[in-house]
Amino acid sequence: MKHTINVGVIGTGRIGRLHAENLMVRIPQANLLAVSDIIVEAAEGVAAELGVPAVYQDYRHILDDRSIDAVLICSSTDTHAQIMEEAAQAGKQIFCEKPIALDLAKIDHALAAVERAGVKLQVGFNRRFDHNFARVRELVAAGEIGEPQMLRITSRDPAPPPIEYIKVSGGIFMDMTIHDFDMARFLIGSEVEQVYAAGGVMVDPAIGEAGDIDTTIITLHYANGVLGAIDNSRQAVYGYDQRVEVFGSAGMVTVSNDRPDSAVVSNASAVRGPLPLFFFVERYTEAYVSQLKAFVACILEDTLPPVTGIDGRMPVVMGYAAQKSYEEKRPVKLSEVDVSG
């Protein structure tokens, strides 16, 4: 059995750079041999900083390198499905950032290519590897709170992204809530059958002018009878707000925000503590490392990836249903937008 794998990273923007750093510094079972980016200067900067041997503008050079076992697809969303298909055809094991695509037909085509090639695919839903949320799933699955009955997910960003990003993001349901849709499936262990989404523009009128919303509440109806609720905002002035509660027949489990420290100062004027960690990179630092460790381990040990192609597909279906619900102001069954599912 091999003890290490050789990896290439395709796309060296913020998330690609983060993954490259983790591969080089935190995961000794992985050898990062090459990076690529259409903005080759970005790839060159990462390579110079980390000591990566090969740099390309064209990712196909990574796919053509027979010494590379696996690729991380961290390029723009509109390229994910095509690169995934080409990587599968090249026999590479694949880690792909979410979403696989914003079109279900493209997702299905890419997943079929992966299946034909017999390679592994892990989708980058890093929150499953967060210590808080993983513990919630563990307790729920073990029956510690009895039969789950209600789920609440709060997910609020500290500040909205640039308007130019909003315009190409696919909308709040595909860009932001997609993580929460994945968590909703992961924490309860059942599929969502129906969603109802309400929302508005409460943070920045420019977001509405770009055709999106910045605030939403979504209710979920699960196949196993559980009821769920997700609330999102593009701006929480106090920091990155990430909380979960699962209520069941025999109890409840909740997790709150991670903070820089747990010190609480109490005096005559107030009781105060630190604000939540400010952004996702800080909040999910260890989760990003853990998901790559899991990807490398599934290759070395020849096991199933912990986040599969179907896990990558279903949150997109939920996003389509939420968008349709918001536009039509009614509950929408997932079967209405996923005729092939």
pLDDT, one tens digit per residue, over 14-33 is 999 999 999 999 999 999 99
CATH class for domain 128-286+315-336?
A: alpha beta
Q: How high is the pLDDT of residue 340?
A: 64
Q: Convert the pLDDT of each residue in 230-262 to its tens digit.
A: 999 999 999 999 999 999 999 999 999 988 888
Amino acid in position 66? R
Q: How high is the pLDDT of residue 278?
A: 82
Q: How high is the pLDDT of residue 1?
A: 66
* Locus of tokens 């090249």: 90
CATH architecture designation of domain 5-119:
3-Layer(aba) Sandwich (3.40)
Residue 268 token pair: 């005559």
pTM of the model: 0.94
Q: Where are the domains of the chain?
A: 5-119, 128-286+315-336
Q: How high is the pLDDT of residue 280?
A: 79
Q: Which residues of the chain have pLDDT under 50?
A: none
